[in-house]
A and B are shown apart, each in its own frame.
Chain A
Amino acid sequence: MPLGQRIAIIGGGHNALITAFYLAKGGFKPLVLERREMVGGGAITEEFHPGFRASTLAHTLGPLRADIAKDLQLENFHCEILSPDPRVFAPSPDGKALFFYNDVAKTAAGIANFSAKDAAKYTQFVASLEETAGFFTQLTSITPPAIDKPTPEDLWNLLKTGKNVRSLGKTGIFDLLRWGPMAVADFVAEFFETELLRAAIAARGIFGTALGPWSAGSTAVLLLRAAADSHPVGSAAFPRGGLGSFTRALAEAAKAAGAEIRTDAEVQHIRIKDGAVTGVVLADGEEISVEAVVSGADPKRTFFNLVDPSQLDPTFANRMKNFRANGNVAKVNLALGGLPIFSALDAAESSLKSLGGRIHIGPEIDYLERAFDASKYGEFSKAPWLDVTIPTILDPSLAPDGKHVLSAYVQFAPYKLREGNWDARRQDLGNTVVKTLAAYAPNLPGLVEHMQVITPKDLESSYGFTGGHIFHGELALDQIFTMRPILDWARYKTPVRGLFLCGSGTHPGNGLTGASGANAAREIIRDLR
Chain B
Amino acid sequence: MATKYDVIVIGGGHNGLVNAAYLAKAGKKVVVLERRHVLGGAAVTEEIVPGFLFSECSYVVSLLRPEIIRELDLPRHGLEILPLDGTFSPMPSGDYLWRVNDHAKSIRDIRRHSRLDAEAYDEFSKMMTPMCRFVKPILSMIPPDPTTLNPKDLKQLHFLMQRFRELSSDERYTLVQLMTMSSADFLDQWFETDVLKATMSASGIIGTFLGIRSPGTAYVLLHHYMGEIDGAFRSWGFSRGGTGAISNAIADAAREAGVEIRTKAPVGKILVKNGRTTGVVLQSGEELFANVVSSSVDPHLTFEKFIEPNELPADFLEGVRRYKFRGSSGKVNLALDALPNFKSLPGPGAHLRGAVSISPSMDYMERAYDDAKYGHFSRKPYIDMVIPSLTDPSVAPPGKHVLSCFVQYAPYKLAEGTWDDQKKAFGDNVINTIAEYAPNIKDIIIDRQVLTPLDLERDFGLTQGNIFQGELSLEQLFFLRPVAGWAYYRTPIDNLYMCGSATHPGGGIMGANGRIASQVILKNWKGGSSGSTATASKAAN
CB-defined contacts of A211 to chain B, threshold 8 Å: 215
8 Å CB interface, A36-74 against B: none
Question: Would you call B511 an interface residue if the criterion is a C-beta within 8 Å of the partner chain's C-beta atoms?
Answer: no
The answer to whether B363 and A174 touch across the interface, beta carbons within 8 angstroms, is no
- Of B69-77, B171-179, B456-464, B502-510, the one contacting chain A is B171-179
Could you say which of A147, A174, A178, A477 has the most chain B C-beta atoms within 10 Å of its C-beta?
A174
The answer to whether A483 and B374 touch across the interface, beta carbons within 8 angstroms, is no
How many chain A residues touch B (CB < 8 A): the figure is 38
The answer to whether A366 and B374 touch across the interface, beta carbons within 8 angstroms, is yes
Q: How far is the CA of A215 from the CA of B172 in the complex (A)?
A: 24
Question: Would you call B345 an interface residue if the criterion is a C-beta within 8 Å of the partner chain's C-beta atoms?
Answer: no
The answer to whether B475 and A181 touch across the interface, beta carbons within 8 angstroms, is yes
Chain B 210-242 interface 0/1 with A at a Cβ cutoff of 8 Å (1 = within): 100111110000000000000000000000000
The answer to whether B214 and A215 touch across the interface, beta carbons within 8 angstroms, is yes
CB-defined contacts of A217 to chain B, threshold 8 Å: 180, 215-216, 474
Question: Would you call A319 an interface residue if the criterion is a C-beta within 8 Å of the partner chain's C-beta atoms?
Answer: yes
Q: How far is the CA of A453 from the CA of B388 in the complex (A)?
A: 58
8 Å CB interface, B158-188 against A: 164-165, 169-170, 172-173, 176-177, 180-182, 185
With A147-B165, A478-B180 known as contacts, the answer to whether A377 contacts B146 (CB < 8 A) is no
Question: Would you call B541 an interface residue if the criterion is a C-beta within 8 Å of the partner chain's C-beta atoms?
Answer: yes
Contact partner, A216, options B172, B322, B474, Cβ 8 Å = B474
CB-defined contacts of B475 to chain A, threshold 8 Å: 177-182, 216
CB-defined contacts of B182 to chain A, threshold 8 Å: 215
Could you say which of A173, A369, A477 has the most chain B C-beta atoms within 10 Å of its C-beta?
A477
With A170-B147, A170-B541, A181-B475 known as contacts, the answer to whether A216 contacts B176 (CB < 8 A) is no
CB-defined contacts of B373 to chain A, threshold 8 Å: 214, 366, 369
With A179-B475, A181-B474, A322-B189 known as contacts, the answer to whether A170 contacts B485 (CB < 8 A) is yes
Q: How far is the CA of A148 from the CA of B166 in the complex (A)?
A: 9
Could you say which of B473, B474, B480 has the most chain A C-beta atoms within 10 Å of its C-beta?
B474
With A181-B475, A216-B474 known as contacts, the answer to whether A171 contacts B180 (CB < 8 A) is no
Q: What is the CB-to-nearest-CB distance from B123 to chain A, in angstroms, rounded to a whole number?
A: 11
CB-defined contacts of A222 to chain B, threshold 8 Å: none
B: contact size bracket: 35 or more
The answer to whether A177 and B173 touch across the interface, beta carbons within 8 angstroms, is no
Question: Would you call A487 an interface residue if the criterion is a C-beta within 8 Å of the partner chain's C-beta atoms?
Answer: yes
CB-defined contacts of A350 to chain B, threshold 8 Å: none
A-B contacts counted at CB < 8 A amount to 93
CB-defined contacts of B80 to chain A, threshold 8 Å: none
The answer to whether A476 and B176 touch across the interface, beta carbons within 8 angstroms, is no
The answer to whether A478 and B181 touch across the interface, beta carbons within 8 angstroms, is yes
Tell me what chain B mostly uses at the interface: helix, strand, loop, or mixed: helix
CB-defined contacts of B485 to chain A, threshold 8 Å: 170, 174
Q: How far is the CA of A170 from the CA of B539 in the complex (A)?
A: 9
CB-defined contacts of A190 to chain B, threshold 8 Å: 322
Q: What is the CB-to-nearest-CB distance from A302 to chain B, in angstroms, rounded to a whole number?
A: 20
Closest to B184 in A: A376
CB-defined contacts of B370 to chain A, threshold 8 Å: 373
Contact partner, A488, options B169, B214, B215, B216, Cβ 8 Å = B169
Q: How far is the CA of A148 from the CA of B480 in the complex (A)?
A: 28
CB-defined contacts of B315 to chain A, threshold 8 Å: 171
CB-defined contacts of A483 to chain B, threshold 8 Å: 176, 180
Closest to A366 in B: B374
The answer to whether B147 and A174 touch across the interface, beta carbons within 8 angstroms, is yes
Question: Would you call A324 an interface residue if the criterion is a C-beta within 8 Å of the partner chain's C-beta atoms?
Answer: yes
The answer to whether B181 and A376 touch across the interface, beta carbons within 8 angstroms, is no
Question: Would you call B484 an interface residue if the criterion is a C-beta within 8 Å of the partner chain's C-beta atoms?
Answer: yes
CB-defined contacts of A458 to chain B, threshold 8 Å: none
With A181-B473, A216-B474 known as contacts, the answer to whether A477 contacts B541 (CB < 8 A) is no
Question: Would you call A80 an interface residue if the criterion is a C-beta within 8 Å of the partner chain's C-beta atoms?
Answer: no
Q: How far is the CA of A426 from the CA of B164 in the complex (A)?
A: 48
Could you say which of A170, A171, A183 has the most chain B C-beta atoms within 10 Å of its C-beta?
A170
The answer to whether B172 and A173 touch across the interface, beta carbons within 8 angstroms, is no
Question: Would you call A523 an interface residue if the criterion is a C-beta within 8 Å of the partner chain's C-beta atoms?
Answer: no
Q: How far is the CA of A488 from the CA of B167 in the complex (A)?
A: 13
Question: Would you call A310 an interface residue if the criterion is a C-beta within 8 Å of the partner chain's C-beta atoms?
Answer: no
Closest to B172 in A: A487
Question: Would you call A315 an interface residue if the criterion is a C-beta within 8 Å of the partner chain's C-beta atoms?
Answer: yes
Q: What is the CB-to-nearest-CB distance from B136 to chain A, in angstroms, rounded to a whole number?
A: 22
Q: How far is the CA of A52 from the CA of B189 in the complex (A)?
A: 45
Question: Would you call B269 an interface residue if the criterion is a C-beta within 8 Å of the partner chain's C-beta atoms?
Answer: no
Contact partner, A215, options B170, B173, B213, Cβ 8 Å = B213
The answer to whether B173 and A487 touch across the interface, beta carbons within 8 angstroms, is yes
Question: Would you call A186 an interface residue if the criterion is a C-beta within 8 Å of the partner chain's C-beta atoms?
Answer: yes
Q: How far is the CA of A52 from the CA of B384 in the complex (A)?
A: 59
Q: How far is the CA of A440 from the CA of B322 in the complex (A)?
A: 35
8 Å CB interface, A338-382 against B: 366, 369, 373, 376-377
Q: How far is the CA of A171 from the CA of B363 in the complex (A)?
A: 39
What are 13 A-B residue pairs whose CB atoms fall within 8 Å in the complex? A147-B164, A174-B147, A178-B484, A181-B475, A214-B373, A216-B474, A217-B180, A217-B215, A366-B374, A373-B370, A377-B363, A477-B215, A487-B173
Assuming A215-B213, A487-B172, what are 17 further A-B pairs, CB within 8 angstroms? A170-B147, A173-B147, A174-B147, A174-B485, A180-B475, A181-B475, A182-B474, A182-B475, A214-B214, A216-B217, A217-B180, A217-B215, A217-B216, A217-B474, A315-B170, A477-B181, A483-B176
Among all A-B residue pairs, the 5 with the closest Cβ atoms: A181-B474, A174-B484, A477-B180, A217-B215, A478-B180
